[in-house]
Amino acid sequence: MPVYNYIIKDPAGKTITGAVEAPNLTLAGDILRERRYVVISLVEKKAGGFLQQFLQRFRGVKISEKTVFARQLATMVSAGLPLTNALEILRVQATTERMQEVLGGMLADVQGGSSLAKSMSKYPDVFDKVTVSLVEAGEASGKLDVLLTQLAENTERDRDFQSKTRGALVYPAVIGVAMLAVFIIMMVFVVPRLTALYEDIGAELPLPTKILIGISNILVHGWWAVLILFGLIGYLAYHYLRTEKGKYQLAAFAFKFPIFGKLSKDSELARFSRTLGLLIGAGGPITQALNIVAAAMSNILYRDAILAAEKQVEKGVPLSIPIRADPNFDPLISQMIAVGEETGKLDEVLEKVAEFFESQAEQSVKNLSTALEPAILIVLGVMVGGLVLSIITPIYNLTTQF
């Protein structure tokens, strides 16, 4: 949808600049005049050059912005503020151009008679199916503020967990990059000079030193071949992992990897329980909720399992039965789902299950931090020891000959 830059005056005579999204120039002007603005200038915003268009495809909205949007919109709706006014305020307060564009388009849609959920569904890169479904249920039940608050709390949990996970990986990532940089500098600048020294003195080179010199020669003289090789490997791996077989193998491997595997599984189970509980609590059909939850899962094994469970539930089978039959689901989940189905409080039970697996995932993050530090020290010690041994051994052998 086109975006139009405007210069307007509000009823108090204050000049305001901004942008509005509308199907055409006439409707853009009508939208502004409906808000009692005097339009001074209204010009369509051009798409820009190729580079700008290319970069815009990768613009996203941070999870913190989505949290603020849901929290503030819930507060405004709960206070009785009209939805159009709330969206206008949020658009003005948005800190990124992308969010301003999205809220401007949503405002235009709502003013045109569209529902909030329908307008949000036009921006799948910003609002996922879970968010749209919760908003749709909130509009239908008259509890939009309640569901938006729950959505904000759920988004905040995701943000906090992502922050903890990234924080645990920052230290090993920095050390890993530093180790790689030191290794390359040694191979490119230090080892070639030592090689010339060894040739001048005619020292007999042990096997570790020969290996070190071979690696150095490859990096110095055949760096282009190394780049081509790694590029080819990356290209083939990328395309293989996009195939069905590759996706399933990667998904299965993700659960078997030490520490990371348990973290991945606990995170997926927490997401499954939390999302399904929210959707069921919103009053939607369980079959529809399962379809939405399946789309929200990042691991294809869980996605297939949930879709298979949805087909069983559609035939009248309790959800706990297909969940119990799948080995990727923890037995606790099927047991708690059975309890929820018997008591009629499935959403509350799933909320408790989600909290349990979230705590398990947080513990996995702590274990990850604890395990990575000694592993990094061991790798660093082996690398330094190998370099020292390869460099010093020929010199030591030479001195023992005298």
The single-letter DSSP state of residue 49 is: -
The bridge status of strand 38-44 relative to strand 15-21 is: unpaired
284-323: b (≥16 Cβ within 10 Å) or e: bebeebbbbbbebbebbbbbbbbeebbebbeeeeebbebb
- State the virtual CA torsion across 157, 160, 165, 167 in degrees, nearest 10: 180
- Which helix or strand (DSSP H or E) is residue 297 part of? none
Instruction: State the Cα–Cα distance between residues 391 and 144, nearest whole angstrom.
Output: 69
* For residue 370, pLDDT beyond 80: no
Q: What per-residue confidence (pLDDT) applies to 398?
A: 67
Check: CB of residue 134 under 8 Å from CB of residue 50. Answer: no
Q: H helices within 94-206, ranges in order?
A: 97-111, 116-120, 129-141, 144-185, 191-201
Q: Please list the helix, strand and coil fractions of the chain in percent, rounded to the nearest 5, in that order.
A: 75, 5, 20
pLDDT digits (tens, 9 = 90+) for 126-167: 888 888 888 888 888 888 888 888 888 888 887 887 787 777
Encoded tokens for 176: 């890993």
CA dist., res. 182 & res. 190, Å (int):
11
Using 50, 70 and 90 to split pLDDT, how confident is the model at 309? very high
The answer to whether 30 touches 18, Cβ cutoff 8 Å, is: no
Which residue blocks in 282-345 are alpha helix, DSSP H? 286-296, 300-314, 320-325, 331-343
Name the token pair of 314. Answer: 């559609």
Dihedral pair phi/psi, residue 68, rounded to 5°: -60, -40
* pLDDT at 203 (0 to 100): 66
Which residue is associated with the tokens 């051009």? 46
- Asked if the model's pLDDT at residue 170 lies above 50, the reply is yes
Distance CA 265, CA 261 (A): 6
Short-list 228, 250, 231, CA closest to 240: 250
Give the angle 356-257-336 at the CA atoms, nearest 5°.
25
The whole-chain average pLDDT of the chain stands at 83
Please answer whether residues 214 and 186 qualify as being in contact, where contact means their C-beta atoms are separated by less than 8 angstroms.
no
End-to-end CA distance of the chain: 83
Check residue 56 and give its pLDDT: 46
DSSP string, 191-226: HHHHHHHHHHHTPPPPHHHHHHHHHHHHHHH-HHHH
319/228 Cα distance (integer angstroms) = 50
The proportion of the chain whose per-residue pLDDT surpasses 90, expressed as a percent, equals 13
CB-based contacts of 284, cutoff 8 Å, min separation 6: 133, 137
Euclidean distance between CA atoms 352 and 329, whole angstroms: 16
Q: With b meaning 16 or more CB within 10 Å and e meaning fewer, what string describes 56-92? A: eeeeebeeebbbbbbbbbbebbeeeeebeebbbebbe
The contacts of residue 61 (CB under 8 Å, 6+ apart) are 96, 98, 99, 102, 125, 126
Q: Comparing C-alpha atoms, which of 222, 220, 74 is closest to residue 154?
A: 74
Tell me how far CA of residue 112 lies from CA of 17, 105, 106, 122, 300, in angstroms.
22, 11, 10, 15, 39
Calculate mean pLDDT across residues 375-389: 83
In the chain, the percentage of residues whose pLDDT exceeds 70 is 93
> What's the pLDDT tens digit per position in 40-82?
777 777 554 444 444 444 456 788 888 888 888 888 888 888 8
The arithmetic mean of pLDDT across residues 234-255, rounded, is 87
Query: pLDDT value at position 49?
Result: 45
Lowest mean per-residue pLDDT among 25-29, 75-79, 211-215: 25-29
46: left (phi > 0), else alpha (psi -120 to 50), else beta? beta
The DSSP output letter for 37 is P
Question: Would you state the pLDDT for residue 200?
Answer: 76
Helices 207-221/346-400 angle, 10° precision: 110
